[in-house]
Chain A
Amino acid sequence: EVQLLESGGGLVQPGGSLRLSCAASGFTFRSYAMSWVRQAPGKGLEWVSADGSTTYYADSVKGRFTISRDNSKYTLYLQMSGLRAEDTAVYYCAKADAYSPATGIFDYWGQGILVTVSS
């Protein structure tokens, strides 16, 4: 059974940093692209970043967020810096259906973790 479990969220001040983790199990982690997708309170889904055959970022986070993965630990990370109030959202870890992120197909999602940016 595929499982994705996010951790590392919480309250952070504007300009601060936070690192999210996503522990994966139930599939061959290194063989699939992984993404972070966020959802601001009461808003829709916003893709943030993907890592697989290539790494991609949304323009809204480029230069501030860094995605990485440790295939030996089956873990995906999102290092977030220069955080802004508009980064406040539930962040989901999502598994792609292939090693290329360029499909937009997310067949499994984590339960999400809340990041709040506020003073």
Chain B
Amino acid sequence: QSVLTQPPSVSAAPGQKVTISCSGSSSNIGNNYVSWYQQFPGTAPKLLIYDNERRPSGIPDRFSGSKSGTSATLGITGLQTGDEADYYCGTWDSSLSAVVFGGGTKLTVL
């Protein structure tokens, strides 16, 4: 089991909005910043969101992040078929002294 909990899959139609949740505890999400990664099959992960809500240069504003308490959320608006990928949340866990990831969420754009 992963320390952070994500839904295994989400789906939505092109043009719609989807959210992916990431649930943790006070030792990780509750007291540390959350990052989100996008991974296409056979390729390396790519940083999408860091510090809960900030986007690296080049990431479109269709992607957003938020955090409340011990949970974080990734939002994607204006869904495109090219957004079909696996999405992972990650953060530091102060009790484990380790980086922890969620189990990943597969996004399907129907």
* CB contact between A101 and one of B46, B99, B101 (< 8 Å): that residue: B99
Binding stretch for chain A, among B9-17, B75-83, B87-95: B87-95
Chain A residues, CB < 8 A from B98: 47, 56-59
* CB contact between A107 and one of B56, B94, B102, B103 (< 8 Å): that residue: B56
A104 to B99, CA, bound (A): 5
* CB contact between A104 and one of B39, B92, B103 (< 8 Å): that residue: B92
Residue-wise, chain B 8-43 has the 8 Å CB interface mask toward A (1 for contact) of: 000000000000000000000000111101010001
Determine whether the beta carbon of B91 is less than 8 Å from that of A106. no
Check B2 for interface membership: any CB of A closer than 8 A.
yes
Instruction: Knowing A44-B2, A45-B90 are in contact, say whether A105-B35 is a contact too (CB < 8 A).
Output: yes
Residues of B within 8 Å of A, CB-based: how many?
Answer: 30
Check A31 for interface membership: any CB of B closer than 8 A.
no
A101 to B92, CA, bound (A): 9
Determine whether the beta carbon of A44 is less than 8 Å from that of B45. no
Check A111 for interface membership: any CB of B closer than 8 A.
yes
* CB contact between A44 and one of B51, B92, B101 (< 8 Å): that residue: B101
Instruction: Knowing A104-B92, A109-B44 are in contact, say whether A35-B99 is a contact too (CB < 8 A).
Output: yes
* CB contact between A106 and one of B43, B45, B96 (< 8 Å): that residue: B45
**Which of A44, A50, A101 has the most C-beta atoms of chain B within 10 angstroms of its own C-beta?**
A44
Check B50 for interface membership: any CB of A closer than 8 A.
yes
Instruction: Knowing A45-B37, A104-B35 are in contact, say whether A92-B50 is a contact too (CB < 8 A).
Output: no
What residue in chain A is nearest B44 (Cβ atoms)?
A: A109
Check B109 for interface membership: any CB of A closer than 8 A.
no
Distance of B18 from chain A, by nearest CB (Å): 19
Distance of B26 from chain A, by nearest CB (Å): 16
A56 to B93, CA, bound (A): 12
What residue in chain B is nearest A90 (Cβ atoms)?
A: B44
Distance of B71 from chain A, by nearest CB (Å): 16
B→A interface (CB under 8 Å): 2, 32-35, 37, 39, 43-47, 50-51, 56, 86, 88, 90-92, 94, 96-104
A sample of 17 inter-chain contacts (CB < 8 A) reads A35-B99, A44-B86, A44-B101, A45-B88, A45-B101, A47-B98, A47-B100, A50-B99, A92-B44, A102-B32, A103-B92, A105-B35, A106-B35, A106-B37, A108-B47, A111-B43, A111-B44
